[in-house]
Amino acid sequence: MTVTREDKPHLTRQHVLQLLREMLRIRRFEERSAELYQQEKIRGFLHLYIGEEAVAVGVMQALGPEDAIVATYREHGQALARGVSMNAVMAEMYGKQEGSSRGRGGSMHIFDAATRFYGGNAIVGGGLPIAVGLALADQMQRRARVTACFFGEGAVAEGEFHESLNLAALWRLPVLFVCENNLYAMGTALAISESETDIHLKAQSYRLASEAVDGMDVVAVEAAARRAVAAIHAGSGPFFLECRTYRFRAHSMFDAQLYRSKGEVEAWKQRCPIARFTAWGKSSSLIHDDDIAAMERDIAAEVQSSVYFAEAGTWEPIEDLCRDVTTPREAR
Amino acid sequence: MNAAPPASAQRVTLTYRDAVKAAIREALQRDQRVFLMGEDVGRYGGCYAVSKGLLDEFGPERIRDTPLSESGFVGAGIGAALGGMRPIVEVMTVNFSMLCLDQILNSAATIRHMSGGQFSIPLVIRMATGAGRQLAAQHSHSLEGWYAHIPGIRVLAPATLEDARGMLATSIADPDPVLIFENVLLYNMSGELAANAGAVDIEKAAVRRAGHDISLITYGGSLWKTLKAAEELVGVGIEAEVVDLRTLRPLDDATIMLSLRKTRRAVIVDEGWKTGSLSAEIMARIMEQCFWSLDAPIGRVCTAEVPIPYPKHLEDAALPQLPTIVAAARAAVGR
């Protein structure tokens, strides 16, 4: 396959700053979310994406507005990188009706029709068959679109992973499977849950084109995602991208992290996707200190305003409890 | 000039299987977004031969054979519905649907509410259900009552040729997930149907036989046993009203209670087990809504609480049968 120019990242100053800004937005949003959780503004489960930002940001660069996204319960990063408004995401975390899902879903169930963001699926592996179906609809309606499906390496142990890879490959569907391999399914290490820990090899066994990439390197992820999307558009069927990454924070806010050492976490933090990209950008004279300062200022303001928005949001009236369980008869 | 006879006057003889097939064929002809997907629906012609011949007519893209991946292809049906298609997914039997319960319960039934009403799932899932063919404990259960437990989906049980022919079109037009349960003993049932039979209502229960002494409430494969029981009861001076639920979720309380207020007695006939069941739910609703109209405790004829056994005499003993229905009705009336 000939790689056209559009299939590669263009590391212009503008693009480099955009990548940094998008990763920083996720990082600062989530740091604030953790504080809001301690303050009991955000309740339920909160699964932070901190450390994995390069995956969502890198993959989204390769997608267009016509493409679809299916994500997991750790999906704030994907939602923000996709362009779901920060206000709507924060209000959703608060459970306010101004949230992306009217507050019904909370942190784990962000949905947004405008950006074709299909959740926010909190059954591990449950999103994969849905992504297969979205891609099937595109294929049957002869639309040149891609469905990107994010999931963790824990999903690899689920039957739905295998069923979905087989169906997508069998029917040559335009699915980009993005495995965010952060090495732990909650607290269970990959090595004690899988007989084969080299995950992209599993995809190869279903005859999917596959690639493993450094998920802590946003440019590497973007480049791989662009190659993958180009291959899908060229009609070669689904593509499997394993992004090797690490979550710096606990699985959820209830996790004491007994299953991994502080040393291991610290070693991965040395590979922080934001710090690493910033250092490279500075050394290449593409990012300057005042860029970062301005960016931090803007993002802090955006995060703060999302908090104001969520605080000012309203609770869905109890009379609406059963609204939208099914479509109202009059709306049919 | 002679007016043509109304089309409804023309009758055709066909089986329940033919009626389902005609409904699928019409749906495929009418709407390019409709396709049929499931195990052995294409080249094999369907496990119960419902889709036999459709592959030749519509091709493998729209009569889509799947691997044995219930969760995968039901989830794909959900995704395809989200993507603008109108899938009909066939799960070979309700027993196998346990393998895709996650997708039905956690995705199909929840996404509309959980997304704040942004996404609907216009998906139809058809399954065979019921016992009576000596297929033992992993192919004979009636689990439709479990599905009737779940908010966010509609559950149908067509018992007649009209409903087998007509419920599918209405279900496909429905913007939300609909599960259709076809009792395996009905596929060979033959009868007459209007040549122009089409879409039917999927909201209301139907009174299949009017009577004033007792209401026999049933659905699906048990309807025909219950109607026979009603005929037998005439011999002892009991005129039974037979209510066919048709839609198991949401239940049509109005039709049930209207019948109860007239007859003041009821027996529920359900091929499901008793414990935590649809029959228990109907009893509870009658207690809530009709308690002061009752003249006798409500009776139930259900499947014995065993996994369905293989030998015919034991399978028969496990299931609701004519004599047990008659006995339960007579006990309730006291005649």
CB contacts < 8 A, A to B, total 152
- B18 and B76 belong to one structural domain: yes
CB B164 within 8 A of CB A314: no
Q: Based on the number of CB atoms within 10 Å of its own CB, is B295 exposed (0-12), middle (13-18) or buried (19 or more)? A: exposed
Whichever domain contains B245, its CATH number is 3.40.50.920
**pLDDT value at B3 more than 80:** no
How far apart CA B121 and CA A181 sit, in angstroms, is 30
How far apart CA B85 and CA B34 sit, in angstroms, is 6
Average pLDDT over residues A164-191: 96
**pLDDT value at A211 more than 70:** yes
How far apart CA B267 and CA B320 sit, in angstroms, is 12
Residue scoring higher pLDDT (B86 or B9): B86
- B103 and B224 belong to one structural domain: no
Confidence of residue A4 (pLDDT cuts 50, 70, 90): very low
**pLDDT value at A254 more than 90:** no
Nearest CA distance, B200 vs chain A (angstrom): 16
**Does the domain at residues A5-331 carry the CATH identifier 3.40.50.970?**
yes
Q: Tokens at residue B178, please? A: 């609909």
* R_g of chain B computed on alpha carbons: 20
* Interface residue A172 vs chain B (CB under 8 A): no
Q: Among partner residues B77, B107, B176, which is closest to A327 by beta-carbon distance?
A: B176
- B215 and B140 belong to one structural domain: no
Please give the distance of CA B275 from its chain centroid, rounded to a whole number: 20
CB A290 within 8 A of CB A74: no
Residues 278-317, chain A: which have Cβ within 8 Å of B? none
Query: pLDDT per residue over B224-262, tens digit each?
Result: 999 999 999 999 999 999 999 999 999 999 999 999 999
Q: For residue B154, which residues of chain A lie inside 8 Å, CB to CB? A: 326
- For residue A259, give Cα distances in angstroms to A49, A250, A251, A321, B113: 18, 10, 11, 40, 36
Average pLDDT over residues B73-98: 97
Interface test with B, best of A128, A151, A324, A332 (most B CBs within 10 A): A324
- B126 and B216 belong to one structural domain: no
Q: For residue B81, which residues of chain A lie inside 8 Å, CB to CB? A: 133, 137
Task: Please tell me the predicted confidence (pLDDT) of residue A217.
Answer: 98
Over pLDDT 90: what percentage of chain B? 97
Average pLDDT over residues B78-103: 97
Query: pLDDT per residue over B8-65, tens digit each?
Result: 579 999 999 999 999 999 999 999 999 999 999 999 999 999 999 999 999 999 999 9
- CA terminus-to-terminus distance, chain A: 47
The 8-class DSSP code of residue B38 comes to E
H-helix or E-strand spanning residue B268: strand B266-273
- B28 and B143 belong to one structural domain: yes
Average pLDDT over residues A165-169: 98
Average pLDDT over residues B207-218: 98
Confidence of residue A8 (pLDDT cuts 50, 70, 90): confident
Nearest CA distance, B217 vs chain A (angstrom): 26
Structural domain tally of chain B? 2
- For residue B223, give Cα distances in angstroms to A165, A191, A299, B95, B283: 43, 55, 65, 21, 18
**pLDDT value at B5 more than 80:** no
- B142 and B109 belong to one structural domain: yes
Where helices occur in chain B by DSSP H, the ranges are: 16-30, 54-58, 70-82, 101-102, 111-114, 144-147, 161-173, 222-234, 253-263, 278-290, 312-318, 322-333
Nearest CA distance, A100 vs chain B (angstrom): 8
**Does any domain span residue B1?**
no
**Which residue range forms the structural domain that includes residue B239?**
206-333
Which residue, B249, B206, B247, is CA-closest to B227?
B206
Q: For residue B175, which residues of chain A lie inside 8 Å, CB to CB? A: 327, 332
Nearest CA distance, A120 vs chain B (angstrom): 9
CB A129 within 8 A of CB A164: yes
How far apart CA A108 and CA A177 sit, in angstroms, is 20
Task: Please tell me the predicted confidence (pLDDT) of residue B262.
Answer: 98
Q: For residue A131, which residues of chain B lie inside 8 Å, CB to CB? A: 79
Number of residues assigned to chain A: 332
Average pLDDT over residues A121-139: 97
**Does any domain span residue B201?**
no
**pLDDT value at A258 more than 50:** yes
Task: Report helix, strand or coil for B307.
Answer: coil
**Does any domain span residue B199?**
no
Task: Please tell me the predicted confidence (pLDDT) of residue A207.
Answer: 95
Q: A324, B76: Cβ pair inside 8 Å?
A: no
- B221 and B184 belong to one structural domain: no
Confidence of residue A210 (pLDDT cuts 50, 70, 90): very high
**pLDDT value at A5 more than 60:** no
Residues 105-124, chain A: which have Cβ within 8 Å of B? 105, 109, 111-113, 118-121, 123
Query: pLDDT per residue over B265-285, tens digit each?
Result: 999 999 999 999 999 999 999
How far apart CA A200 and CA B328 sit, in angstroms, is 62
For A321, the closest chain B residue by CA position comes to: B113
Listed residues B130, B159, B194: the one ending a domain: B194
Q: For residue A110, which residues of chain B lie inside 8 Å, CB to CB? A: none
- B39 and B180 belong to one structural domain: yes
How far apart CA A297 and CA A303 sit, in angstroms, is 10
Task: Please tell me the predicted confidence (pLDDT) of residue B8.
Answer: 56
Q: A164, B85: Cβ pair inside 8 Å?
A: no
How far apart CA A269 and CA A272 sit, in angstroms, is 5
How far apart CA A224 and CA A214 sit, in angstroms, is 10
Query: pLDDT per residue over B135-186, tens digit each?
Result: 999 999 999 999 999 999 999 999 999 999 999 999 999 999 999 999 999 9
Question: What is the phi-psi region of residue B115: left when phi exceeds 0, alpha when psi lies from -120 to 50, beta otherwise?
Answer: alpha
Tokens 């299916």 -> residue: A70
Task: Please tell me the predicted confidence (pLDDT) of residue B212.
Answer: 98
Contacts 24+ apart (CB under 8 A), A276-282: A276/A216, A276/A217, A277/A19, A277/A20, A277/A23, A277/A54, A277/A217, A277/A218, A277/A219, A278/A20, A281/A16, A281/A20
Over pLDDT 90: what percentage of chain A? 93
Over pLDDT 70: what percentage of chain B? 98
How far apart CA A64 and CA A6 sit, in angstroms, is 12
Confidence of residue A330 (pLDDT cuts 50, 70, 90): confident
Domain range list for chain A:
5-331
How far apart CA B273 and CA B280 sit, in angstroms, is 10
* pTM for this predicted structure: 0.95
Listed residues B194, B217, B236: the one ending a domain: B194
Q: A133, B69: Cβ pair inside 8 Å?
A: no
- B125 and B247 belong to one structural domain: no
DSSP per-residue codes, B60-124:
TTTEEE--S-HHHHHHHHHHHHHTT-EEEEEEEETTGGGGGHHIIIIIITTHHHHTTTS-----E
Q: Among partner residues B107, B119, B151, which is closest to A111 by beta-carbon distance?
A: B119
* Interface residue A68 vs chain B (CB under 8 A): yes
Task: Please tell me the predicted confidence (pLDDT) of residue A2.
Answer: 40
Torsion angle of alpha carbons A221, A222, A224, A229, nearest 10°?
130
Task: Please tell me the predicted confidence (pLDDT) of residue B198.
Answer: 94
How far apart CA A199 and CA A243 sit, in angstroms, is 10
Task: Report helix, strand or coil for B248.
Answer: strand
Task: Please tell me the predicted confidence (pLDDT) of residue B6.
Answer: 55
Q: Tokens at residue A163, please? A: 């069923």
- B185 and B48 belong to one structural domain: yes
- For residue A163, give Cα distances in angstroms to A19, A137, B41, B125: 34, 18, 18, 19
**Does any domain span residue B4?**
no
Q: B106, A123: Cβ pair inside 8 Å?
A: yes
Q: A129, B74: Cβ pair inside 8 Å?
A: yes
Which residue, B235, B273, B231, B258, is CA-closest to B243?
B258
**ipTM rounded to 2 decimals:** 0.95
Over pLDDT 70: what percentage of chain A? 98
- B67 and B187 belong to one structural domain: yes
Cβ neighbours for B234, distance < 8 A, ≥ 6 positions apart: none
Q: A133, B76: Cβ pair inside 8 Å?
A: yes
For B123, the closest chain A residue by CA position comes to: A133
**Does any domain span residue B117?**
yes
Catalytically annotated residues of B? 70, 139
How far apart CA A238 and CA A132 sit, in angstroms, is 9
Whichever domain contains B181, its CATH number is 3.40.50.970
Q: For residue A94, which residues of chain B lie inside 8 Å, CB to CB? A: none
Q: Among partner residues A105, A159, A327, which is closest to B175 by beta-carbon distance?
A: A327
**pLDDT value at B1 more than 80:** no
Average pLDDT score over chain A: 95
**Does any domain span residue B221?**
yes
Torsion angle of alpha carbons B240, B282, B110, B144, nearest 10°?
-60
Contacts 24+ apart (CB under 8 A), A28-35: A28/A296, A28/A299, A28/A300, A28/A303, A29/A76, A29/A80, A29/A86, A29/A89, A29/A90, A29/A303, A29/A306, A30/A76, A30/A77, A32/A303, A32/A307, A33/A76, A33/A90, A33/A93, A33/A107, A34/A249, A34/A253
For B100, the closest chain A residue by CA position comes to: A160
- B184 and B210 belong to one structural domain: no
